[in-house]
Amino acid sequence: MNIILFGPPGAGKGTQAKLLQDEFSIPHLSTGDIFRAAIKNKTPLGVKVKSILDSGELVPDQTVVDLVADELSKDKYQDGYILDGFPRTVVQAEAFDSFLESNNDKLDAFILLSVPEEELIKRILSRGEGRSDDTEEKVKTRLQVYREETQPVMKHYEKQGKVQEIDGIGTIDEIFGRIKSALT
C-alpha cells in the first residue's frame, strides 16, 4: 500500500505515519526526517536545506524529488510506504506521478489531516522540536507557504479521486482510528 499523509505543519502527520507503519508493516518516509538528519550531520544538502528552512521557505522541487526517488528505489519500499512531507508542490506531485508510472506502481491513498490554524500554531509551539523557525511569526509564515504552495497538491490528487479528508482533532488514537477506517 502506497500512502501519502498530507496536511499543514503540526497536523500530526509524523505521529500518525509511525502508527500506520506499525499497523501495516510498511516503512514511513519523511522528507523532514531526512532533512533533519542531513542538517544535524552538516552534510552539503543539510547546510543548503538549513538556510532555506531558516528563511521559512520550501526546499527546491528538484532537490526533494531526487531525494525521494533515490530513497524509494531501495528494496525496503517494494511492498509499500507512507510518505509524509512529500509532495509539497504540484511540480513534485507531477514528478511523483511520473515516478510511479515509470515503476508500474500507483498511489493507493491520499490522507488529508484537517486541523484549524489556531490548533496548528499551538501544537507547533508546544512540541519543542527546537527548530529555529518555531516562533509564532515563523510558524504563521510556514502556514502561509503551505496554503499558497502546498495546498494545491490536494487539488491535484482530488482530480484523481484519491483525497480522503480526516478530522485531525481528537486524541492520537481517535485520529488513527479514522485513518484506518478510510484505508479499509
Active-site residue set: 13, 88, 127, 131, 142
Tell me if 124 sits within 8 A of 11, measured CB to CB.
Answer: no
Residues belonging to the chain? 184
What are the angstrom distances between the C-alpha of 3 and each of 16, 69, 95?
12, 15, 16
Nearest-angstrom CA–CA distance, 100 and 118: 36
Alpha carbon distance, N-terminus to C-terminus of the chain: 11
Tell me if 88 sits within 8 A of 175, measured CB to CB.
Answer: no
- CA-nearest of 99, 141, 102 to 120 is 141
